[in-house]
Structure 1
Amino acid sequence: MEKKMKIVVIGAAPTALGFAYRLNELKKENAEEVKNVELIMLEQESFAGGLSCTDIDEKGFLWDMGGHVTFSQNFPYYDKAIQEAVEEWNSLQRNCLVDMNCMFGEKGIHLVPYPAQFAVPLFPEKDKQNCLAELKERYENKSDVRPVTFEDWILQNFGPTIHDAFFKPYTRKVWTVETNKMNPIWVGSRVAKLPQDKLESLCAMSKEELVKADFGWGPNAYFTFPKYGGTGAVWKQMAEKLPQNWFKYNSKVVKVNYQSKSINFVENNNGTEEMIDYDILVNTAPIDKLINETKLCSPLNIEHNKVFIVGVGLELPMTKFCETFTWLYFPDPAVPFYRITFLSRYGETTPDNTKYWSVMAECARPADDPITEEEIRDQAVEGLILKSIFTREQIVSIYSTTLDYGYPIPTVERDAEIARAHTVLEPLNIYSRGRFGGWKYEASNQDHCFIQGKELADRLFLDIPEKLYKTGLPEHRG
């Protein structure tokens, strides 16, 4: 009798579901390679989705764990899978601006097009001229020096004025570190560079023309969002369509024994510790915790921050100037949030969209910051009022939650440290992937994570090399 291959996955978020979805597909195709594969996913929550879940507050408002949207140009495979999970989708035109009030010496809100480097024509005259001179110098004298830090990269591509006015304060808000602590590898297409001719044509426009100007989002001009149930509906419904005996919910992993290839976990409902063995382990939980637990190498020198989600349910009417926005960015240190999302515009996320609307704020802090959720919640509400997003009288509901792992920070040391972890894990058939399992922000959106899971399945079962996630190890075939 042929031996079964038992695969245990820690977690049931997008990476795990991408893995399971692909395995299920291969099983349906009767692929010989997966005939004897058994899968168990250990999920500490009572539902699938992880950080891509949706919570519902006491008043019936729905809240995602951050501004999750899907731009549909990336992965046709992912698009197909989520369309199978959720039938009704809304398609929205991206409309996001950035509040540059500090640059204008104002206390309230002063919105300019995002990304801020595209909004140079709207800057105060002195800053505008400085930016133009710095950009012109960079267009004409291309540097061959390889940037070591994100700060080097910004100075090399944009110059000190934009660095000091936007990148420095915004990086501090979202990443909770300085620009010189981050590597430039994660940037990719996430930080747009502005072609010289485009900048010059924008600078030649009048203020009235600039309001209507196309700042060019290209393939990311539109995004989709589930009509009902928030982002969490995608993963919940995808999980429901997979074999249910693959899922073990309410199961918190407490120990990984790599010598005996077994895992100890506690089931919430009875509190007793159980053990399960594995041939292959796929870890989608934070890789720093896995290394600390197994002590396979010294602790990783990697950093993450925590994020507080603050949701405010409001009575209509929606504030006039906010009506067309999808989200806004805030470098201003006077308010705790780096981004706010007009979530009720995305789908049915209020008890009744004819009576209510909603705003969700994301506030980042260093992982060890002692500030309480209550303090952040109060600051966020006051900040939203200060920025004229709504009035105090409109508030119907206030929701908050803390994500202890918010962003995996792309520090300068990150890639070497993550490679060091994979060097000891992979020879033991332990594969760590996902937002915090792989710790690479540039490949950690929910679509990326799903594809990471799919590609790992293809690698393990079909010997197809992974494309999206790079471990930093020499490519192993066979």
Structure 2
Amino acid sequence: MEPDISVDVLVIGAGPTGLGAAKRLNQLNGPSWMIIDSNETPGGLASTDVTPEGFLYDVGGHVIFSHYKYFDDCINEALPKEEDWYTHQRISYVRCKGQWVPYPFQNNISMLPKDEQVACMDGMIDAALEARVSNTKPKTFDDWIMRMMGQGIADIFMRPYNFKVWAVPTTKMQCQWLGERVANPDLKTVTKNVILNKTAGNWGPNATFRFPAVDGTGGIWIAVAKTIPEEKTRFGKHGSVKKIDAKAKRVTLDDGKTIAYEKLVSTMAVDLLVEAMGDKQLIELSKGLFYSSTHVIGVGIRGERPERIGDKCWLYFPEDDCPFYRATIFSNYSPSNQPDSSKKLKTMYLADGSNPSSTEAQEGPYWSIMLEVSESSMKPVDNDNMLKDCIKGLLNTEMLKPDDQIVSTYHRRFDHGYPTPTLEREGVLKDLLPKLQDMGIYSRGRFGSWRYEVGNQDHSFMLGVEAADNIVNGAAELTLNYPDFVNGRVNHERRLIDGAQFFKSMKGIRDSGKPLKPDSTAGAKVNGEAVYTNGVVSHANGVK
């Protein structure tokens, strides 16, 4: 039976990865292609919801910072005006022992009570002495924490916080994923700061970040989707996948239509992908992957933004006085993230649960908090009382006062929230992903390739871009295969411009010595593997 549609490359999913693949395929102007998604609106796990009252909440805490010039160019093409963006300096804290400790915690223990300072310093000194004589590498995330930070920081912050995030103990996680995501404390600097009662400055790639002026993070991906031909998209009920026949290279949609393909770029969670394929061997293999679910809770409050909140961006909560591990002051990112102050809303209840003095709708202003709670088989949660417990947690941590007026609430559960880098992960992926690729299926994206270390929006987008380049020109997929490199742990230059330089250092890789031109196939090698530029070499610094 003839398929209804035939394309060279089919892309499943219109989140950042799928849109990256579609964007690049459209630029290459070679193979025929189509992108499909079961949602009417593009964005995937980087989308934004709007409450009936007019409060916006992203699918978790998303901000824009980048390792790639190509990503920047595509985002700026979609939202080109200066007024399309706000740029923020990250103001972030850890709530610990009744204090707001500047992020990263391990560099700012000078803010803790003296007993905790002593415990942290003892642990760091012991860890430094152990590191001098140790000739083995840490095997687990917990080993890494103890090796780098010691017992005090491990017990006070790293272990409880990471369990709240990942919903698995640190002893069950590997440590190769860390890259630039966790700051290594410098013992001399920390000691000096403790003695002088100083705090350390900003750290990390997201110390400065951008956020769209309107429509939340999801607005970025809606705008990117508008830069690709509409006739090559099928969204909503006409783009929902029912079955994938890998042998026949055919996808059956929920509406009964079939699409034949030569290559498939799938951004579905890989465990759901193999289920749609009905491949018993791969289904069994995928059971070795672990993930946590994420609850996103939003609270809209009437009133001026209080002084205690100030310009804070996001905040971390390792202790058990609240169920959430992170809070984002979402109203601080953009004025459009909450209703205009002239809009009249009723007070639902006060933060302490009591009834308001008036049931009449009143004007604002308004501000909002977005919370994240993880869930897994190792960390069950009380779904029925989630919102109530979170508001109680906001009171416990002094984020809210008892008489604050709550005018809007939001709660949504995302089954696949975090792809957990467990000890078993690499063994599964090194078997599963090549088997899929042998069938012509490129499983890519946050859950498609299951590598959290390259799961930010820029990484996810480039996973799709590089898959398209590999399909068309055989280019290496650096983001998938060399996460340390793209994250700058090996190559410390943050940005190379327009291909004038290429791969300054990576285990013997040398500069190509030639300016690189768009769509050139002149390249270098990574561990002996040819790297073709095609205008978008996926270097950490965005060679174009």
Residue in structure 1 matched with residue 71 of structure 2 by the alignment? 78
Residue 214 of structure 2 corresponds to 228
- Whether the 8 Å contact between 1:373 and 1:401 is mirrored in structure 2 is no
8 A Cα contact 1:19 1:454, kept in partner: yes
- Please state if 1:130 is matched with 2:140: no
Q: Deviations over 1:59-90 (max 9, x none)?
A: 01111011101124x11111111111123100
- Paired with 2:393 and 2:386, the residues of 1 have a C-alpha distance of 10
Change (3 A) 1:242 1:201: same
SS of equivalent to 1:321: coil
> Which residue, 289, 305, 330 being the options, matches 1:343?
330
Aligned residue identity for 1:65:
V
Q: Secondary structure at the match of 1:126?
A: helix
Q: Shift in Å at residue 264 of structure 1?
A: 1.1
- Asked if the contact 1:57–1:399 (Cα under 8 Å) also holds between the matched residues in 2, the reply is yes
Contact 1:96 1:114 in 2 (8 A): yes
Distance in 2 (CA, whole Å) between partners of 1:469 and 1:293 is 23
| In 1: Cα distance, 2:200 partner to 2:151 partner | 26
Distance apart, 1:370 and its partner CA: 6.4
Give 5+ residue unaligned stretches, structure 1.
28-33, 102-108, 267-271
Amino acid at match of 1:412: L
Partner of 1:329: 316
Tell me, in whole angstroms, the C-alpha distance in 1 between the residues paired with 2:528 and 2:128: 37
Cα shift readout 1:156-199 (whole Å, capped 9, x = no counterpart)? 11111111111111111110000000000111111101223321
Paired position in structure 2 for 1:52: 46
Partner SS for 2:32: strand
Deviation at 1:424, TM superposition (A): 1.4
TM alignment of 1:73-472, pairs within 5 A: 74-86=67-79, 87=81, 88-101=84-97, 109-140=98-129, 141-142=131-132, 143-206=134-197, 210=198, 213-217=199-203, 219-250=205-236, 251-266=239-254, 272-294=255-277, 295=279, 296-297=281-282, 298-300=284-286, 301-347=288-334, 348-352=336-340, 355-366=365-376, 371=381, 373-391=383-401, 392-470=403-481
Match of 2:511 in 1: none
> Given residue 142 of structure 2, which amino acid in structure 1 is its aligned partner?
E
Indicate conservation of the 8 Å contact 1:258/1:428, yes or no. yes
State the shift of 1:476 in Å: 7.3
The CA deviation string for residues 437-477 of structure 1, in whole angstroms up to 9 with x for no partner, is: 010011011111001111111211122101111299x9876
Find 2:14's aligned residue among 12, 25, 28: 12
Distance apart, 1:124 and its partner CA: 2.6
- TM (norm. structure 2) is 0.79
Q: Name the counterpart of 1:30.
A: none
Deviations 1:286-309 (Å, cap 9, x if unpaired)? 101222333143332011111111
Q: CA deviation at 1:5?
A: 5.5
Shift of 1:123: 2.5
Asked if the contact 1:310–1:399 (Cα under 8 Å) also holds between the matched residues in 2, the reply is yes
In 2, are the aligned partners of 1:419 and 1:471 still within 8 Å (CA)?
no
- The alignment partner of 2:87 has SS state of strand
Offset, 1:240: 1.2
Aligned to 2:145, the other structure's residue is in SS state helix
SS class of match (2:337): coil
CA contact (8 A) 1:319 1:389 kept: no
| Distance (Å, rounded) in 1 between the aligned partners of 2:39 and 2:276 | 20
Contact 1:12 1:42 in 2 (8 A): yes
Give the count of matched residue pairs. 448
Task: Give CA-to-partner distance per residue, 1:347-391, whole Å, 9 cap, x none.
Answer: 120111671111100111116876464421221122112222123
* CA distance in 2 between partners of 1:433 and 1:237 (Å): 22
The correspondence for 2:63, drawn from 50, 69, 82, is 69
User: How far 1:314 sits from its partner (Å)?
Assistant: 1.1
The letter of the residue matching 2:314 is: W
Q: For residue 53 of structure 1, report the CA deviation from its aligned partner.
A: 0.5
Give 1:136 deviation, angstroms.
2.5
Instruction: Please give the alpha-carbon distance, in whole angstroms, between the structure 2 residues aligned to 1:364 and 1:253.
Output: 27
Instruction: Tell me which residue corresponds to 1:104.
Output: none
SS in 1 for 2:240: strand
Alignment partners' CA distance in 2, 1:151 and 1:369:
18
Greater RCO, CA 8 A, separation 6+: 1
Letter in 2 for 1:221: A
Q: Kindly, what percent of the aligned residue pairs are identical?
A: 34
Quote the Cα distance in structure 1 between the aligned partners of 2:442 and 2:57: 31
| Unmatched 5+ stretches in structure 2 | 1-5, 342-363, 484-526, 533-544
Give the secondary structure class of the aligned counterpart of 1:68.
coil
Check the 8 A contact 2:321/2:397 in 1, yes or no: no
Partner Cα distance (1:320, 1:409) in 2: 37
Structure-2 separation of matches of 1:461 and 1:367: 41
Contact persistence 1:465–1:475 (CA under 8 A): no
Aligned partner of 1:434: which letter? Answer: G
Deviations, residues 96-135 of structure 1 (Å, cap 9, x unaligned): 100112xxxxxxx421112221122223323322322332
- RMSD value, Cα: 2.1
